[in-house]
Chains A and B, each alone.
Chain A
Amino acid sequence: MIKNMISIKNLYKTYKNKEIETPVLRGIDLEVKEGEFLGIMGKSGAGKSTLMYQIGLLDHPTSGEIILHNVNTEKLSGEERTNFRLSLLGYVFQDYALIPELTASENVMIPLLMQGKSKLEAKIVADDMLQKVSLSHRKDNKPSQLSGGEQQRVSIARAMAHNPKILFADEPTANLDSVSGRSIIELFEDLHEKGQTIVMVTHEEEYAKYCNRIVYLEDGKIVRETLHKQ
């Protein structure tokens, strides 16, 4: 039986700015199975990224329950959330989010070093990951010396280096041309085929079709759900 990797119940998120309250998520219920490739779609301001930040433990929901890998995240302290992100979650951001003064290889090494791996171990894993995203020849280059597509590949290598249980991707192809975008989405597809659980926010139908399930958000609520492929 396939177990739930993500389980969300009655999730609310309201941003407060002085006296003004802006509800963004309004009662989300969602379950993501292990190995599933979930797409989150919706118009701008629908709450897609906000939902992903809550699930990815980058933000605290106003109310509701988020269970990741059978752990109720509500009870986690700040340090436990950091450790959880470090060991179980991986992130790919829209703008790649690489550390500019580190080389491609060092960007991938950083979470591994934090996990306690030796520099040599981390380097071996990082170089292996960069090879998997076809960037071995660019491992000593800094982000400023890489193209957008290459930077996003490094970002994926970093996100996957520590074998996360869930990979979060926030519009990973938004800043890329169609060729680079396609190669990135094919990388995700490849990871998915190997059993990786992926949650991807996108507004591009062309790439959403690679997901096996898509939830559509509108005004902070899931309004519909489609299955694309099995």
Chain B
Amino acid sequence: MKVITKKWLDIFRVGFFLALRQIKGGNIATTFLIVFIMMLTFLNLVVVSGILVGLIEGGSKANKEQYTGDLLISTPAGEQYIEHSHEIESTLERMPGISNFSVRYIAGGMIEANYKTRRDFSELTDSVPTQITGIDLAREEELSGLAEHVNEGNYLNPEESGYILIGKNLLHRYSEAFGDVFASIEGTYPGDKVKVTIGDRTKEFIVKGIIDTKVDQVSLRAFITKEDFLRLVDRPGINANEFAVRLDPATFVTADQLKGNLVASGFSKDAKIQTATEAIPEFLNQIRIAFALLGNVIGLVGIVVASITIFIVIYINAVTRRKYIGIMKGIGIKEKAIEISYIIQSIFYAVLGGSFGIFIVYALLVPLFYAYPLNFPFSDGILVAPVGSVMFKFFLLLVVTIVAGYIPARSIVKKNTLDSILGR
């Protein structure tokens, strides 16, 4: 055993010795070019799939920040509100690890815009169905930063009544980019009056501001104060429709644990309890899977290109050095040592190229995409590059490169020693 270990140690030592001298003695421009190709391959592997996944991840992140929080407690299908909302609220106030939460009161309603200017009653009303959402202004602002997304007009004022915020996709001038996907109203601006109807009750509101966000659950809603909502809607026991809960960033409590605690407390009978991940719309998950697959396919093409590049580089190197390989074998250098010298060269190219790639990803691209996300209609695309996945791709590139380096080296090294020396 000791003899075998020593033998392999000597083989590695000589392989390393030869590889180091070959790299040092190699053409700098060629080495730079190979490392550059390896870096581009690695970036292709990480960045393409990272951006594709990032388009969805950006949407999911915005969904979590602006709508669900870390945990969303919502009205079960078929119900009008969450029964025993007060108990949930008081439980949330007592639970450890929670930073804040927002209580939302929601009812299906209709916003009508042109009721003051419509002279011909045979014309269709300029109206849009939506979810009228009553909020505690301070709590909602703390949870979702709703005020930051007001791009026309102002945020609601707790001292005022009769004002409404309208999500941009309820307005034609914003939603026309999506074609006929969203129903919308024309020409409504801050200061205009709109009629809000919930059930058989109608009330006039002044548009206070327009909410501009790419989160549909926000941009397709209209927001009024909790007090205005409860004046408009008869609701027994002032039961709510949604609780969006934000965890304390310093806590060790996870969203899953919090959900588990609430379920254990029996609240799942009255409400649908979902973590932010679970609350992501299914179509987004499907797109995420499809994009990840697409990214991986593109990345694999890159890997194949890189392996062919390394194969050619090592093959040409080994073929042009065939005579010396023969001489080394002739003077007793073991075949494995020579092969290892080529494998080490391949590793050198892959590690250097991959390391530059990692540096560019984390020092340049990730911060850049965070500062300037890709502007897509449904999300702000970021570059998703989790360390585990990046390291796996680095390892994958390394393995592929080792194989691509070994095959041509082996094919030349195994040739007849004398034929190699004599070049025949």
Contacts and interface: CB of A to CB of B under 8 A. Distances in A.
B331 interface: yes
Given A99-B327, A99-B328, A101-B25, A79 B334 contact: yes
B330 A85 contact: yes
B99 to A, nearest CB: 60
B286 to A, nearest CB: 55
Interface in A67-102: 79, 82-83, 85-87, 89-91, 93, 97, 99-102
Interface stretch (B16-24, B45-53, B115-123, B352-360): B16-24
B337 interface: yes
Interface string B325-340: 0011111111101000
Contacts, number: 74
22 contacts: A58-B330, A59-B418, A79-B334, A82-B332, A82-B333, A82-B334, A85-B330, A85-B331, A91-B331, A97-B324, A100-B25, A106-B21, A110-B17, A110-B328, A110-B333, A111-B331, A114-B10, A114-B332, A114-B334, A116-B6, A158-B331, A159-B331
Interface residues of B, number: 27
A53 B418 contact: yes
Interface in A27-55: 53
B418 A82 contact: no
Per DSSP, are chain B's interface residues mostly helix, strand or loop, or mixed?
A: helix
Interface of B: 6, 10, 13-14, 17-18, 21-22, 24-26, 323-324, 327-335, 337, 416-418, 421
Contacts of B331: 85-86, 90-91, 110-111, 158-159
Contacts of A82: 329, 332-335
Interface string A144-161: 000000000000001100
Interface string A101-112: 110001000110
Contacts of A87: 332
A91 B326 CA distance: 13
A113 interface: yes
A113 B10 contact: yes
Contacts of A110: 14, 17-18, 328, 331, 333
B329 to A, nearest CB: 7
Contacts of A116: 6, 10
Q: Which of A89, A99, A106 has the largest count of B CB atoms less than 10 A from its CB?
A: A99
A53 B6 CA distance: 30
Q: Which of B24, B323, B332 has the largest count of A CB atoms less than 10 A from its CB?
A: B332
Given A58-B330, A58-B418, A59-B418, A99 B10 contact: no
B330 A83 contact: no
Give the 5 A-B residue pairs with the shortest CB-CB distance, closest first: A86-B332, A101-B25, A97-B327, A85-B332, A59-B418
Contacts of A83: 332
B3 to A, nearest CB: 10
A93 B421 contact: yes
B329 A101 contact: no
Given A86-B331, A97-B323, A111-B331, 6 more contacts: A85-B331, A89-B332, A110-B328, A113-B13, A114-B14, A158-B331
A145 to B, nearest CB: 13
A158 B21 CA distance: 18
Contact of B421 (A97, A100, A106, A114): A97
Contacts of A100: 25, 324
